[in-house]
Amino acid sequence: MSETTARKAKVKMSEADWRARLSEEEYYVTRKKGTERAFTGKYHDSKVKGRYLCKCCGEPLFHSNTKYDSGSGWPSFFKPIEENAVEEHSDNSLFMRRTEVVCARCDAHLGHVFPDGPRPTGLRYCINSAALDLDEDI
């Protein structure tokens, strides 16, 4: 089994275990598909270099060299750290058609992706800070 295959094995935990592991806001965002208020998350304007990891399972999701200021109030990235780090699902809630982004390893809700980002991808992964941890480059 390759490292990528092993790392992508799904993480499954009970709701009680997720609640014990996460803060109330982290649980709301990642397990209940919530959204933090714009401009309130700890990473929305961060310039620190490093890898952004899934708050729930530690899976690397995005790198700071793909982060940019979209003006949206949430951390924005133009591509995931690896093509298979995240999964995308149709989201028709709130009377809108959007594309939800989840962690491929634990299905944590991260945010949404929109087709209005910068080159080279033209994508804007709009991600909740509460769904992320930053592993700083030293």
Residues carrying an active site annotation: 126
pLDDT digits (tens, 9 = 90+) for 112-125: 999 999 999 999 99
Supply the pLDDT for residue 40. 96
Q: Which residues contact 97 (CB under 8 A, 6 or more apart)?
A: 90, 91
pTM of the prediction? 0.89
Type of residue numbered 92: N
pLDDT digits 0-9 by tens, 9-63? 889 899 999 999 999 999 999 999 999 999 999 999 999 999 999 999 999 999 9
The Cα 118–Cα 102 span in angstroms is: 21
Q: How many helices (H) and strands (E) would you count in the chain?
A: 3, 9
Model confidence at 93: pLDDT above 90: no
Q: Select 3-136's CATH number: 2.170.150.20, 1.10.3720.10, 3.30.9.10, 1.10.3080.10.
A: 2.170.150.20
Look up residue 115 and give its two tokens. 């087709």
